[in-house]
Amino acid sequence: MAVEAGPVKEARKVMTQFKNHSASHSAWRPATTLVHGGTERSHFGETAEVPFLSSGFVYDSAEQAENTFLGTEQHYQYSRFGNPTISVLEKRLTLLEGAEACRVTASGMAAVNAALLSHLKAGDRVVASRALFGSCYWIVANLLPRFGIEAVFVDGGDLDQWRDALATPTQLVLLETPSNPMLDVLDLRAIADLAHASGAIVVVDNVFATPLLQKPLELGADVVVYSLTKHADGQGRVLGGAVLGSNDWVENVLQPFTRNTGPTLSAFNAWVITKGLETLSLRVHAASASAARVADFLATRREVARVLYPFREDHPHSTLARQQMSAGGTLVTADLGDKETAFRVLNRLQLIAISNNLGDSKSLVTHPATTTHMRIGEAERARLGIGDGVIRLSVGLEDAEDLCADLAQALNGAA
């Protein structure tokens, strides 16, 4: 196409001049926010969000560059600090979560690490639920003590343990609910009240519930973290993470850390995740309905010793789950008794794939004791109830009856 005549600086404005398409977002419901929230169009008027695959940005003058670094003028500097495509994703996530601010990261673990290390210093104290994803557990148990940060673990469902641990001044509380992989549901409101009385902020890993099914900030949490790899992209394509909280905490605590240490999400991955969000509501609600069906099916099988699903009446925390969540989620956990049986069942599955990922459009299954939670050790697994027969099933978008049929043939053959 022909280049429009005019000063070079007018062409440069393509990078910074956008039409905000989300002025009425406060009245939108989640499904609409996931399609339109935070959208900014360039002067070209494109319908799909544009991936700005640029590492840096130019200035109209040396004075503008100086003012940008001083913070007296708003202009993109460098994609490690900010990028138009990344900004759209952050705005959309902020609107969905009901948070004031968001920063995205290169992976879910980068998000957890940034949330913790940006806030903590030597001499601080962390209280965490034992039921954490393996890498989260490693950060608390192994990394934080290297920096002189005390780490205390409690059984997340025992409020007396939280009360005893938080009787000592504490700077941060970390938990996930429902937990990985045993789907423990923790009382967010009660834990947040105890944590705040102790001087701590509450960081919640909300990956299993997603912002569609649970709102930790409304239940007293201060910071929410996600692996956007999971349901947000949800189609097995890219890695990503997010940290959400108040403007003050994100700008003054988190931002200096991420800006200078560089756990940056690529603009391309941000664009892929942004497009993935458009179908998040459809995917999460469909997969949750199928997961409930699969859980009920597994509960009828004599080969299955126990089924865990938050909205089943036999789940130990089902009442609390229904108070905090709008649906049971996309994960089902089952105990097949022993490792040999679990492996035989997994190896016979034809439709459901073996993978340690979750929140995907495709149904996936893993054996936590030998994958995601291998390195927390046998004793800690036993304490959490992660036996050698436990499998974690992430239900996707296949027909639920086909998933049940696949599980049935695998169970029959393994027996």
CATH fold group of domain 280-413: Aspartate Aminotransferase, domain 1 (3.90.1150)
pTM score, two decimals? 0.92
Nearest CA-CA partner of 236 in 199, 276, 274, 290: 276
Reported as type and span, the H/E element at residue 227 is: strand 223-227
What is the pLDDT confidence band of residue 4, given thresholds at 50, 70 and 90?
very low
Coil, helix or strand at residue 241: strand
For the segment 29-34, the average pLDDT, to the nearest whole number, is: 93
pLDDT at 116 over 50: yes
Amino acid (1-letter code) at residue 263: P
Q: What is the pLDDT of residue 243?
A: 98
Is the distance from CB of 126 to CB of 153 less than 8 angstroms? no
Span 330-367, pLDDT tens digits:
999 999 999 999 999 999 999 999 999 999 999 999 99
Is the distance from CB of 243 to CB of 106 less than 8 angstroms? no
Residue 49's alpha-carbon distances to 140, 377, 406, in angstroms, are 38, 45, 39
The domain over range 32-40+51-275 is classified in CATH as 3.30.360.10: no
Parts of the chain belonging to CATH 3.90.1150.10: 280-413
pLDDT at 319 over 70: yes
Stronger pLDDT, 2 or 278, i.e. the higher one: 278
Parts of the chain belonging to CATH 3.40.640.10: 32-40+51-275
For the segment 146-165, the average pLDDT, to the nearest whole number, is: 98
Is the distance from CB of 116 to CB of 174 less than 8 angstroms? yes
